[in-house]
Structure 1
Amino acid sequence: MTDISLCLVILLTFLTLKAESTLTLSLYRCSNSSYPNTTLTSYKADLDLILNSLSSNSRVPLGYYNTSSNAVYGSFLCRGDLSPGECEDCAKNATKTIVRLCPRSEWAFLWFDQCMVRYSNRNFFSSMETDPHLDGYNGESTAEPKQFMAVLEKTMGELANKLAAKYLRVEKKYATKEVKINAKETLQTMAQCTPDINVTGCVKKQN
């Protein structure tokens, strides 16, 4: 069986994708540790600077931006099918929400359905990482689980190749694929990498 690892975003659903008119908070994760009182003022100042910079630069062509200040690193990534205006709205909202949900955390992730924001006390730029990770599951069941898994494995492999091919061109590292499982069920897949990760890190296949 082929194990396919796609960095940052993988969404699976049986439902037809629809344009969202409102931002939907999916998941978030905060570190268990807080930045120490001895560095509270300086870390908070750097974090505020980072989040303000992310918000100010949220209308960018690729829907991705990263920046750092001393010991704080931050980035945002918008879903590949969002317009610049939609990306801007999501990133600005996310930079505010992450502070509210993760006060004084050394690092934090926040996912809306439309974008993600991340900050950390270590440099994570240009690195493919699988931890910490956020998991989400579709609660619906399929009538043919064996057929579903076979189609899923094949489709994700094809999607990984499609995503890798996009690195040959200067564009968003975003790909989608839709496949019929049976007469009633359709599998829709999406994958996306941050533009700073190279093709080897973005798509990793192991036999």
Structure 2
Amino acid sequence: MGHNFLSDANTIQLLLLLYFSIATLSQHSSNFLTHPPYKFCSNTSLYEANSPFQNNLQTLMSYLASNASVSNQYHAYAGNDPDRVYAQYMCYNYITNEKCSACIDAASQDIMQLCPNNRNATVWEELCQLRFSNKNFIGQLDFSGNIPLANRETIENSVQFISVVNENFSNLTKKAAFEPTQSMYATGKLALSDIDTLYTLMQCTTDLSSHDCNTCLQVAIQNISNCCYVGRGARLLSRSCYFRYELYAFYEGAAEYSGTQKVYNFPRGKTLTILKIVLGTCIPTVVLAFLTASCIIYFRRISRKETDEEKSHLAFLQELRKSSGSTLAEGNKVKNIVFG
């Protein structure tokens, strides 16, 4: 029976594709939470270089960066229609004016580089966010294009985690949105075990109404719950609000908090992390070993087939020699064949 070399070749190609797919997936999964700045570029409407819109934008970016040294939130516009530019920044309330100024200065440069010639763009830095548009968005709730991001480390008992933290998130949402003294900003911490504490931050842009702030944060929590509750940390980037939780004190002043807290017992998220490491290491190794073994088998089959063909050819010639008086040279090569 003949050997199907085409089938072997397809198998090898499939194994190669499987191996490189797993390697690529492993690489992407390890970088699920990248580093800021994060960006949103509309790319639907672009301005021309040296246009009135670009001049207004550059003027406004410079003005906002200088104003950030005295205010953690601000919005303004520059120019006249149709080249008017609206812009707004929000620094997270726990940082100083000095850090806010530095953050907005970096954001104003990043947004021009990351979203070149865009008339509508947003950039999120680690400590602030900056937005501009050719349309007036001041005072308008906008949660389109929300970006959820999750920590690569996972919580083992995510179901129990969700049931506990949802109430905590809901209380903080109301506090940020409806308590005037909070200025649409709230932080909280919740002990989950003897060693794990949940730190949460919520903030809205102050041009929103209390109702819109509440809506923005509720949507943010829903976005996070749909994708990221298994992570030991997550953040939701929105144009109108900001939501983040971690199992460490990521905002200043969190360590000074004191008060009575209910303690919930959660297993630490090491089991799934270890499992991910083991699978990420073993699966490519197993696939590579399988691929190597398949290649060895493939080439052995080729060698065996060539040997069998040589033997068959030699036997055929020997039969001819017996019946027709053929002579063979050394090395089994035909020198002369005489047929009677």
Q: Alpha-carbon deviation of 1:172?
A: 3.5
The alignment yields a C-alpha RMSD, in angstroms, of: 2.0
Picking from 93, 97, 102, the partner of 1:80 is 93
**Does the CA contact (< 8 Å) of 1:32 and 1:105 recur in 2?**
yes
Residues 110 and 36 from structure 1, CA distance in 2 versus in 1: closer, same or farther, beyond 3 angstroms? closer
Q: SS at the partner of 1:109? A: strand
**Does the CA contact (< 8 Å) of 1:159 and 1:175 recur in 2?**
yes
Q: How does 1:40-59 map to 2 (within 5 A)?
A: 41-59=51-69
**What does residue 192 of structure 2 align with?**
181
Q: Give the distance between the partners of 2:172 and 2:37, measured in 1 at CA.
A: 23
Q: Give the distance between the partners of 2:172 and 2:88, measured in 1 at CA.
A: 25
Q: Deviation string for 1:42-101 (max 9, x for gaps)? A: 11111112211211211224x001111233110110011001111111111111111111
Question: 5+ residue gaps in structure 1?
Answer: 1-23
Structure holding more strand per residue: 1
Residue 141 of structure 2 corresponds to residue 128 of structure 1 = yes
**What does residue 7 of structure 1 align with?**
none
Q: Deviation string for 1:120-152 (max 9, x for gaps)? A: 111111112101322211221112111110122
Q: Alpha-carbon deviation of 1:36?
A: 4.6
**Paired amino acid for 2:204:** C
**Paired amino acid for 2:156:** A
**Does the CA contact (< 8 Å) of 1:80 and 1:173 recur in 2?**
no
Q: SS at the partner of 1:92? A: helix
**What does residue 161 of structure 1 align with?**
174
Picking from 31, 35, 42, the partner of 1:31 is 42
**Paired amino acid for 1:159:** L
Q: SS at the partner of 2:102? A: helix
Q: Give the distance between the partners of 1:96 and 1:27, measured in 2 at CA.
A: 13
Which structure has more relative contact order (CA 8 Å, sep 6+)? It is 1
**Paired amino acid for 2:66:** S
Q: Give the distance between the partners of 2:125 and 2:116, measured in 1 at CA.
A: 18
Q: Give the distance between the partners of 1:57 and 1:98, measured in 2 at CA.
A: 17
**What does residue 200 of structure 1 align with?**
211
**What does residue 75 of structure 2 align with?**
66
**Does the CA contact (< 8 Å) of 1:35 and 1:43 recur in 2?**
no
Structure holding more helix per residue: 2
Identical-residue share of aligned pairs (%)? 27
The number of residue pairs the alignment matches comes to 179
Q: SS at the partner of 1:85? A: helix
Q: Give the distance between the partners of 1:155 and 1:119, measured in 2 at CA.
A: 33
TM-score normalized by structure 1? 0.79
Q: SS at the partner of 2:51? A: helix
Question: 5+ residue gaps in structure 2?
Answer: 1-34, 220-340
Once the two structures are overlaid, the 10-residue window that deviates more, 47-56 or 113-122, is 47-56
Q: Give the distance between the partners of 1:85 and 1:201, measured in 2 at CA.
A: 29
**Does the CA contact (< 8 Å) of 2:177 and 2:185 recur in 1?**
no
**Does the CA contact (< 8 Å) of 1:109 and 1:119 recur in 2?**
yes
Q: Give the distance between the partners of 1:64 and 1:111, measured in 2 at CA.
A: 14
Residues 35 and 90 from structure 1, CA distance in 2 versus in 1: closer, same or farther, beyond 3 angstroms? same
Q: SS at the partner of 1:65? A: strand
Query: Looking at CA atoms only, which structure, 1 or 2, has the larger radius of gyration?
Result: 2
